[in-house]
Structure 1
């Protein structure tokens, strides 16, 4: 492109710095993959153990509630249960929906035939059920394949489609709203809980964040009621 000298130099510097940042990010992420895999294995193992022994854990939890404020303890336990149910239902529903959308994208954009697109959709569902690791891996692989085949337009279209409808678009827009609706908390609070939990606690923060903020909102409501009764 015949650009003015100053513009061309600025563009070259910008491209160089962006390339460095992208390379640094990819390198850091690649080096952290073993850690993420280990966290995912531990998370799934512990979560499975909690589900298997849920009845025993539930009895132990209720037995630990203090008698003097047992009503508040019961309310907090029910709030945590409500939030967990909302997270798991949303997680499963979105994973299946993303897999279906990825199958359509792969088939109509020519990444694979129908059977291959269905296989990619199933892989997307499996990856979406794992924390942090998600369907973005599949659509990025498809976009790279189209790019190497010389179909740049289809690669760009798949990238836009993947970001908006598979990952991370729905995780930022749809997931917090569904969790908030199921857990009966503010959508902004659910969004902060999901991403703040991941940033603060890693993979386990996906569960800890929304539950902690849900419990906090319950405690704040109780505190407001106590203050109102004290004033009256």
Structure 2
């Protein structure tokens, strides 16, 4: 118990490492088998390098794209400071806030020197506090990510021996059914990863293509954000709905409607057909418990709850069926 208390701040990082290791273990085993002779002993190092690249490459691309957009914004603000910028035609068409934003633009951005004067008048204390908090959060997340990678390396390296010890412990605690519960837990995690991550990537790709056809700047970045938010309830419609709203106020009504209809169609098919089938077929879990597990997991454990929620619900349903001798999984 003392050891658990010492590492409690890093339990989330260790849990993430466990989820990734369980989900990617079959792929890692196939990868290690195709390596020639002596190179096979370096399989954990090579595979962890590939996993790190897989995680960091989209992040680096996103940072580069955001940096490019920030440079354009800085240039526009510099021009507004020296010469003033006329308001875009679509600004007044924004629902509810159009007139207010138009007046603010004319006072701050259309008037040379107006932005500097406006910035002096605002309370900069909260802004500096947010920047400092963001910096601390980034450092914390980076440390947790590094711990996750280190733990993941050791799980790949010692996974076989560790799995035997865990299985022995589970059987000692739960008896003979422990092996079935352990197998069901692994199947649940892998099914959840397939249902959330793989479908999320597909959603991001499909919406990214629609963003490109609509002429959205950096469609790959927005597609990646759509795929990332697709694993969060109501995250995906909020993003593509916002994109459609921007296109609508800019006068591109057809493009806005196409993105809205296409995004809704992709979301309905993936969230209500493809994803539940992938998760449910892997864990034999009814759709209601899948939805409750995902929502309850997010509410209680954050993003990690996307995977822990279905695992907990699958274990609960399995124990219920075992204790009541019910084998019909349709209830």
- TM normalised by structure 1 equals 0.63
1:84 aligned partner: 189
Cα 1:62–1:46, aligned 2, differ >3 Å: closer, same or farther? farther
Cα shift at 1:119: 5.1
CA distance in 2, matches of 1:198, 1:39: 20
Cα shift at 1:200: 3.2
Cα shift at 1:220: 1.6
Please give the root-mean-square deviation of Cα atoms over the aligned residues, in Å: 4.0
Pair member with larger Rg: 2
Cα shift at 1:76: 0.9
CA distance in 2, matches of 1:39, 1:177: 36
Query: Is 1:143 aligned to 2:244, yes or no?
Result: yes
1:201 aligned partner: 301
Cα shift at 1:133: 9.7
Cα shift at 1:88: 1.1
2:93 aligned partner: none
* 1:83 alignment partner, SS class: helix
CA distance in 2, matches of 1:70, 1:46: 33
Structure 1 residues without counterparts, runs of 5 or longer: 1-14, 16-30, 227-232
1:22 aligned partner: none
Structure 2 residues without counterparts, runs of 5 or longer: 1-95, 97-129, 327-331
1:180 aligns with one of 253, 274, 280: 280
- Whether contact under 8 Å (2:193, 2:307) holds in the other structure is no
Cα 1:86–1:101, aligned 2, differ >3 Å: closer, same or farther? same
CA distance in 2, matches of 1:131, 1:40: 19
- TM normalised by structure 2 equals 0.46
Cα 1:150–1:92, aligned 2, differ >3 Å: closer, same or farther? same
Cα 1:59–1:68, aligned 2, differ >3 Å: closer, same or farther? closer
* 2:170 alignment partner, SS class: coil
Cα 1:75–1:135, aligned 2, differ >3 Å: closer, same or farther? same
Cα 1:173–1:68, aligned 2, differ >3 Å: closer, same or farther? closer
- Whether contact under 8 Å (2:297, 2:308) holds in the other structure is yes
CA distance in 2, matches of 1:169, 1:43: 35
How many equivalent pairs are there?
Answer: 191
Cα 1:202–1:119, aligned 2, differ >3 Å: closer, same or farther? closer
Cα shift at 1:212: 0.6
